[in-house]
Structure 1
C-alpha cells in the first residue's frame, strides 16, 4: 500500500469517532436525484426533452414552476434573493419571505438553490440563510454544492466576499493541492465545518477527473471522504460529474468514462448524479451546445434510464464498505481476506457492499477500467447463498447462477460499467 493510501485509511477510524451528526431536518430524500448544472431555458420544448432524457430535477425561476410541473419534473428555485446578504437588509428579508411563501406549496418545488463552492469563511452566513429557509419552509431542500479535494487551502477557507473569492480563484486542475495528509485533513475539516455550521440536508460536491494529460489522482479519495462524512452525518450525497470541456485542461469524456463516473458513485452509496454541464455554447463542450443535443447527451439519457430503475433500489440501501482490487488508487482499501464477497480476475474492480449493520445484503461490482471489458471472478463466503441480479432495464431481480461447490460466480462487465446483486440469506 502506498503512503497516501495508508495515511487515508488509518485516518478513517479517527473520523468515525470524530464524525459530526446532522440534526433532524424535515426534508427527506424520496427519490434518486438525476439532474444537471446549467439548465436550459424553461420552455415546453426544452423541459419535454429534459423529462424524456430521464432527468427528474431541473432548475427554474418562480414563474416557470407551472411549466416544470407540466412535464412531471421537480425544480431547484433560482432567485437572486436566495442569498445570505438578503438577511442583512430588512426590505430584502421581507421579499425573500414573500418569495418562499409564494412557492413553498407549489408541486414542482424540490428546493432552493443557494450557492456553489463556498469556502468555510462563508459557512456562518449560509447557516443563517438555511435556518431562515427552514423556518419558513421546512419541507424543501436548501441546495449548496461544495469544493473538491483538489481545491487549495485558501479556496477551502475563503469568505463569501466577491473580491476575496476572485483572489483565490476556482479549482481548474490538480496543481493547487497535492495529495498528502495535509490535503486529507484540510478537506475533512472543511466537510465537518460545513455539516456542523450550515446543517445541510444533502452533501453535494463536484470533482472533475478526466484531464487532457491523463486522469486525476484524487477521484476515489474524494468519493471516500464524502461517503465517510455523509454516513457519519446520516445524510445523502450527490456527485456532480464531468460532462463538458469548459476548462482548457479537461478532455471530452466519452460514454464509457461517463458510465465509470456514474457507477463508481453508485458503488460508494451516492444518492444522486448531476451532470456538469447541460446547456451552453459550443465552446463549453456540454451535453447541449448552442441549443443542439450532442451524442454525449444521448449517452447520458441511456444511463439515466438505468438510473430511473436502479436508483430507487439503491436509495433504500446503506453503504457498508467499499473495496478495490489492486493496484489500489489513492484513498482506497483492498478487499479483506474475510470479506463476505471477494473479487478476483485480471481486471481492476470496485466492490461496494450494502446492508444493515454488519450484514451484507447486496453488492455492486464496477469495472474500474473504462477502456476495456472484463470478467470478474466473485467468491462468496457462503456457497449456498442465493444470488439475484437487478435487471436495470426491466426493474426486476433475476436469479444468478452460483457454483455450489466453489461458491463462485462470473460477472462480465463492459468498460466502466457496474452490476448490482443481492444475497439471500444475508451474512
Structure 2
C-alpha cells in the first residue's frame, strides 16, 4: 500500500505546476535581486565541502526541531493561524496544501517570520525542476535533463526570491525518491551548498526494510540529515510489524553518516490506519527518541480533504479549521516534554537501543545486555535508548526509558552497578534539570506511551 507521502507527492505536482513559474519570476524581481546567467554558470565543484549539520537551520543549535507537514491552505494562511502553530510548540513548517505560487510562499514566509517559525519551501518550479522532474546531466541530449549550469540558475532564482526572509530554513528537494535518483540529488545538494551554504537542503525518504536504500542515500547524496516516514498504528489495534526494523536501519545509516535522523509521526487515520490516541502520539515520539531521533515531524497538521483520496480522517486541525483533541495532545507533548528532553538528547550520540523484557522480540530489535553501569532491568517491557557524549573520553551515559506500550502503564526497575556509577539523576522536564537519586535500583513508572530520561555519571 502506498503511504500518504506517495499519494501527496504526485498530486502536489499536478496542482502546483500551473501556478508557480510566473509568480516566482515576479517574486524574484520584487525581491530586488538579480540572477546569475545560466550561460556563464560553471559546473558544480566535485570537492565541495559538505557543511556540518551543526551550522545549518534546524539541525544546528541547541533547540530540538519540531515540524509539521500540510499546513494551513492559502485561504487559511493568516497571522492567527501561524500563531496557532507556534503556540502548539512547533518550530518549522514544510510548505504544501495548495501553496504552490511564489507570491503565496513569500506571504507565508512573512507570516512565519512574524510568528517565530521557520519554513522549508516545496517549490515545484525551480527546486523540483532541478531535483525531481528533471535529472542533472552534462549531456545535453539526455532525455528530461537540465545541465549543471541550468540547475544553478534555477536554484539561484529560488534563493533570490525567498532568501531575504529570515524565516527561510531551506528547500524541500524531493519527497520519497527512489535510489535511482540519488546521483541527481547529490548534484542538486552540491549546487545548494555552493550557492547558499546557510540553507538546509531537505529530502524525506520512503519507508523501507532495505538497509542498502538508506546507506546508499547517505553515501551518494551526502545529505545533511536523514528523514523518513513510517506510520505504525494500523487498523483494529495492530502495529506495523516492521516499524522498529525500519527505525533500526535508519539509525544505523544516520550513525554511519554522522548526521541527524528525523521521522514523521502519524496524527490521523487513513486507509488501513487508525486514529491515534494522545498516548499513541506520545508513544511514537518517545520510541523515536529512544532510537536516536534528532527531529520530529507531524503528518499531518491540517487535514487533507476527501478529494485527495486515501480516506484521511481529521488530523490536528480539521478540513474546516477546527482544532481536534490531537492538536491539544500535540501541544502538550511539544511544550511540556519534547522540547525539553529533546534539548538534552540533541547533542548526544545514540549508542544502543534495546527492547527489554519483551518476548518475542519484534523484527529487527535487540534484547537487553548488561553493561558496566546497568546490570539488570526487571519489570514491564520497555525500550531503552542509551546515549553518550560526543567526547569519547566521557564515561557518563544517558538512558531514555520508554514504555513499550501505548495503552498500559509500565514499571521497570534498573539495577545499577554501584562500583561504577557515581551518581544518578532523573530528568525533570518542568524544571529542566536532573533530580538526584540514590545509587541503588532505580524504579521507573511510566504512563502509556511515556518515557523517562536518566543520567548515570560514572565514577
Q: 2:263 aligns with which of 236, 239, 255?
A: 239
> Which digits, 9 at most, give the CA deviation of each residue in 1:384-417, with x for residues without a partner?
5311111112212211244xxxx31111111111
CA distance in 1, matches of 2:151, 2:456: 55
TM-score by length of 1: 0.80
Segments of 4+ moved more than 4 angstroms = 89-93
Does residue 309 (structure 1) correspond to residue 333 (structure 2)? The answer is no
> Which digits, 9 at most, give the CA deviation of each residue in 1:47-101, with x for residues without a partner?
1000000000113423321211111111112211111246617777534312213
Give the corresponding residue for 1:46: 81
Does residue 75 (structure 1) correspond to residue 119 (structure 2)? The answer is yes
Give the corresponding residue for 2:371: 338
Seen in structure 2, the aligned counterparts of structure 1 residues 133 and 116 have a Cα distance that, compared at 3 Å, is: same
Q: 1:133 aligns with which of 168, 192, 208?
A: 192
Alpha-carbon shift at residue 339 of structure 1 (Å) = 5.0
The structure with higher relative contact order (CA 8 Å, sep 6+) is: 1
Seen in structure 2, the aligned counterparts of structure 1 residues 374 and 211 have a Cα distance that, compared at 3 Å, is: same
CA distance in 1, matches of 2:435, 2:279: 25
> Which digits, 9 at most, give the CA deviation of each residue in 1:209-245, with x for residues without a partner?
1111411111111111111111111000001111112
2:382·2:402 contact (CA, 8 Å) conserved in 1?
Answer: yes
> Which digits, 9 at most, give the CA deviation of each residue in 1:131-186, with x for residues without a partner?
1111110111111111112xxxxxxxxxxxxxxxxxxxxxxxxxxxxxxxxx5xxx
2:262·2:293 contact (CA, 8 Å) conserved in 1?
Answer: yes
Stretches of structure 1 that go unaligned for 5 or more consecutive residues are 1-21, 150-182
Seen in structure 2, the aligned counterparts of structure 1 residues 324 and 113 have a Cα distance that, compared at 3 Å, is: same
Q: Map of 1:159-238 to 2, 5 A cutoff?
A: 183=209, 187-213=210-236, 214-238=238-262
Seen in structure 2, the aligned counterparts of structure 1 residues 115 and 382 have a Cα distance that, compared at 3 Å, is: same
Give the corresponding residue for 1:114: 173
Seen in structure 2, the aligned counterparts of structure 1 residues 27 and 216 have a Cα distance that, compared at 3 Å, is: closer
2:182·2:217 contact (CA, 8 Å) conserved in 1?
Answer: yes
Q: 1:62 aligns with which of 90, 106, 112?
A: 106
Seen in structure 2, the aligned counterparts of structure 1 residues 23 and 347 have a Cα distance that, compared at 3 Å, is: farther
Task: State the Cα RMSD in Å.
Answer: 2.1
2:53·2:225 contact (CA, 8 Å) conserved in 1?
Answer: no
3-state SS of the aligned residue for 1:113? strand
CA distance in 2, matches of 1:339, 1:323: 15
1:74·1:108 contact (CA, 8 Å) conserved in 2?
Answer: yes
Alpha-carbon shift at residue 346 of structure 1 (Å) = 3.4
Matched pairs, number = 364
CA distance in 1, matches of 2:53, 2:330: 28
- Once structures 1 and 2 are overlaid, which stretch shifts more, 86-95 or 235-244? 86-95
3-state SS of the aligned residue for 2:158? helix
Q: Map of 1:149-168 to 2, 5 A cutoff?
A: 149=208
3-state SS of the aligned residue for 1:338? coil
Alpha-carbon shift at residue 324 of structure 1 (Å) = 1.2
3-state SS of the aligned residue for 1:303? helix
Q: 1:256 aligns with which of 276, 279, 290?
A: 279
2:53·2:259 contact (CA, 8 Å) conserved in 1?
Answer: no
Does residue 381 (structure 1) correspond to residue 381 (structure 2)? The answer is no
3-state SS of the aligned residue for 2:380? coil
